[in-house]
């Protein structure tokens, strides 16, 4: 299904974020499953999926009909691909945490009474 059609919008990549958000909120308010009348789960799900795709300008340019990658999954990459960024070691945080623990447990008012 075309995400623009699901939200009732023209297939225009130049729509503003606010226009897409307003269309989503209108449909969500009318079809949400928590409504007293039960809502419309299928339409709500389609609108939520469409909003997730169109909520950014890049998503709107990728989702427009006729675009070469519109609504088609991208193939899996073959080969090694780019190097992944490894997270920095957490040594400073661990050292600070241990120092605080030693200071707090060394205080007499936090230590258990002798003989316990």
User: What mean pLDDT is predicted for residues 70-99?
Assistant: 62
CATH of the domain at 35: 1.10.287.110
Q: What is the pLDDT of residues 9-68, one digit of tens each?
A: 988 878 888 999 999 999 999 999 888 998 899 999 999 998 888 888 777 776 555 555
- Coil vs helix vs strand at 105: helix
From the number of C-beta atoms within 10 Å of its C-beta (0-12, 13-18, 19+), residue 21 rates as: middle
Sequence-separated (6 or more) residues with CB below 8 Å from residue 54 = 3, 4, 7, 9, 15, 20, 60, 63
Residue 14, domain member (yes or no): yes
Overall pTM surpassing 0.85 (yes/no): no
Q: Is residue 84 part of a domain?
A: no
Residue 28: per-residue pLDDT: 92
Q: Is residue 11 part of a domain?
A: yes
* 89 within domain boundaries: no
Domain that holds residue 39: 3-63
Higher per-residue pLDDT: 44 or 72: 44
> How many distinct structural domains can be found in the chain?
1
Residue with tokens 């503003």: 16
In a domain, 44, yes or no: yes
* Domain membership flag for residue 83: no
Assigned token pair, 18: 């606010």
pLDDT at position 95: 81
| pLDDT-wise least confident of 69-78, 96-105, 107-116 | 69-78
């Amino acid at each position: 299904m075309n995400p623009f059609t699901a939200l009732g919008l023209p297939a225009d990549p130049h729509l503003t974020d606010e226009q897409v958000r307003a269309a989503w909120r209108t449909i969500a308010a009318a079809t949400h499953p928590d409504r007293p009348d039960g809502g419309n789960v299928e339409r709500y799900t389609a609108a939520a999926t469409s909003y997730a795709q169109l909520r950014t300008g890049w998503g709107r340019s990728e989702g427009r009909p006729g675009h070469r990658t519109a609504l088609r999954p991208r193939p899996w990459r073959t080969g090694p691909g780019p190097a992944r960024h490894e997270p920095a070691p957490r040594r400073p945080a661990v050292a600070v945490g241990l120092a605080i623990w030693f200071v707090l447990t060394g205080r007499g008012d936090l230590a258990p009474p002798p003989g316990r």
